[in-house]
Each structure stands twice: as structure tokens, then as C-alpha cells.
Chains A and B, each alone.
Chain A
Amino acid sequence: MATQIVMDHNGDTRHNFDANDAKALLKAEERFKMLTGLGFTAAVRTASGAPTVRHTFDPSAEETLFFPRLVGG
């Protein structure tokens, strides 16, 4: 089961989907495009645990984290 984690005012919202289900995968890709289109950054962890940013949907990613655009505080 793959997960897309979206940071929000509730802490985060998690969307679990079966990466082997074509329909679920398409929906996850649409969510990815929608969020990155809104300015969210998508990050995944490498095998070593280091974060890396994804600019395109990675259907093999087990966990993708989205956080809102950064601004000066």
C-alpha cells in the first residue's frame, strides 16, 4: 500500500492507495499534479532515508510527502 501524505492544518492527511490498481494509481497521479500545481513540494525518502524532491509522479514511491510553498517568515 502506497501513501501520499499532505501537510495541512490538521497535521497531515494521508491518502493510501494500491499501486497495483491502475485506477488508484491514476487518481494518485492526478493528486500529485494538482498539489504540485498549487505550489506544494513533493518529497520522498531514498533507501538511506535522505529526502529527495520529486517533480514528476513516481508510481513506485511507497511514501510521498507534500508540503506547501515556502515563504519568508
Chain B
Amino acid sequence: MFESLPHMANLQLRWLLTSASRGAQAIWDWYRELGRENDTEARGLRLLREWLSPAQLAQYDAHRYFDVIGCHSGKRYRIRHGTATNIHELDDAGDPTAGWCFVPRDYLVAGDVMLAQKIALETNERGALTVARNFAPRWSAL
């Protein structure tokens, strides 16, 4: 019985090392994935910044939103940083009158989503609003 003790200890040590190794690998994979996601988010924001007008870029940098003018109605829309329910139609006083939600069909990061929304409203407002879901804005001052 005592002769088997070192053997048992050896087995337990091996099990412990294997578990620790798997845990470390899982943490490393998670960390790498987190870094990759951050890279993806950054790439999306970089693309957005390249396509915003100077005024929109200044607005986005200051407030994390930017305004676009609908190509058909001339209405002003505010696109906030986000990937859903982030568009508000504004009246002349700058108060929200309606909320609009439309997004690219595929999963995209926030920068890409906001850029697609901007281009859609500036080039095909009616088409964008046709597919959009309408929602009531929850606050009166943006």
C-alpha cells in the first residue's frame, strides 16, 4: 500500500498539471479572442471615420453620434453609436420625433452598422425606412 503512494501522488500531480494547462489555454484563447474582437471593432470605427464628412466626424468625436440628412425628405436623423435602435428622426428644434431601426442583415460591428445606416439614409432614405422598424423615442432631449 505504501509503495503505491508515490504512484498515486504522481497521477494526481499529472492530473493537476493537465487541468492547469487546459485552464491556462482557455484563458489564453479567451484573451486572444478579446483582442481580435477589439481589432475588429477598431477596424469598423476606422472605416466609419474615413466615410464621415468633416462635420459628422467632429460631431461623432464630441458626442458619439452624428446627424445625417435624408436624401428624399430632407429630414435630419441622428445616428448614435450602437448597433440597434440607434437612429432618431429630429424635428427643426432638434427634438426626436421618431425612432427607426434598420441594420445590415449580417452581424457587423458598430462602426460598420452606423456607416451602412448613414449611407442608406443619404442615398436611399425611402428604401431604408421601408424595411425599418419604427419605435417611439424614450427621451425628449438628445
Q: Does B bind A? A: yes
Interface residues in chain A, defined as those with a beta carbon under 8 Å from any beta carbon in chain B: 5, 7-12, 39, 41, 43, 45, 49-53, 65, 67-73
Q: A70-B120, A72-B133, A73-B133 are in contact. Are A8 and B106 (CB under 8 A)?
A: yes
Q: How far is the CB of B128 from chain A (nearest CB, A)?
A: 6
* B116 adjacent to A67 (CB under 8 Å): yes
Which chain B positions have C-beta within 8 A of A8? Answer: 106, 108
> Can you list 8 contacts pairing A with B, beta carbon distance less than 8 Å?
A5-B47, A8-B108, A11-B112, A51-B123, A67-B116, A69-B104, A70-B102, A71-B131
* A70 adjacent to B104 (CB under 8 Å): yes
CA distance A7 to B51 in the complex (A): 13
Which chain A residue has the least Cβ–Cβ distance from B118? A51
* B131 adjacent to A43 (CB under 8 Å): no
Which chain B positions have C-beta within 8 A of A51? Answer: 51, 118-119, 122-123
B24 on the A face (CB < 8 A)? no
Prevailing SS type, chain B contact patch: helix
Which chain A residue has the least Cβ–Cβ distance from B53? A49
0 or 1 for each of B77-110: is its CB under 8 Å from A? (1 = yes): 0000000110000000000000001111111110
Which chain B positions have C-beta within 8 A of A65? Answer: 47, 51, 115, 119
B43 on the A face (CB < 8 A)? yes
B20 on the A face (CB < 8 A)? no
Which chain B positions have C-beta within 8 A of A11? Answer: 39-44, 47, 109, 111-112
* B106 adjacent to A68 (CB under 8 Å): yes
Q: How far is the CB of A36 from chain B (nearest CB, A)?
A: 14
Q: How far is the CB of B72 from chain A (nearest CB, A)?
A: 13
Which chain B residue has the least Cβ–Cβ distance from A70? B102
* B128 adjacent to A70 (CB under 8 Å): yes
